[in-house]
Structure 1
Amino acid sequence: MYGASLMFFTDEDSVIQKVEVKRYSKNELVSKFSFCIGSELIVKPLNKQKLKNRDRRVRILGFIEKNHNRVRVRYLDTNRNGIVDIDDLDAIE
């Protein structure tokens, strides 16, 4: 069982400024990090069968309005835009 706990921090206008993420695998804390728009992260899903975009570095461009579990990103290797689930992201070591 994989999952993530998300905590959103907003400003006075209810615009998301920062997100804290705690990623869990089998009810054990795997990683904990926070990010904001402009942060560089790596796509590293906990589910081993999720192979698409694995180990690609991304820069956060914004949050999806309708679904707050996804973010709009720019892949740093190709400069193309895409959408990624927040629980598939991890901090760069």
Structure 2
Amino acid sequence: MEKITTTGLDLANVPRFTTRPPMHFVSIKTRAEQAACIVLKTRELFVRQRSQTAHALRAHMAEMGIIAAAGKTSIATAPKRCRVYPASVAA
């Protein structure tokens, strides 16, 4: 068995660890603060989903040979450039 030794460095750090507070506590958020956080997170989610939808639409249009520039305005005009087929032809 190895002998467990305590070096001088370990002994020098003991007072520092014994005087340090064990935990830091954070105050509880109010209902208004929680509501503001929820609104912010929900908005960020909607922005991400809007971007994902625009990228998906642009990618599907590119598969059909319709190239759309980056940005919201090119996606807004995309339905005008797409040709809508009757249900019997699409099937």
Based on CA coordinates, which of the two structures has the bigger radius of gyration? 2
TM-score by length of 1: 0.22
More helix by share: 2
Structure of higher RCO (CA pairs closer than 8 Å, 6+ residues apart): 1
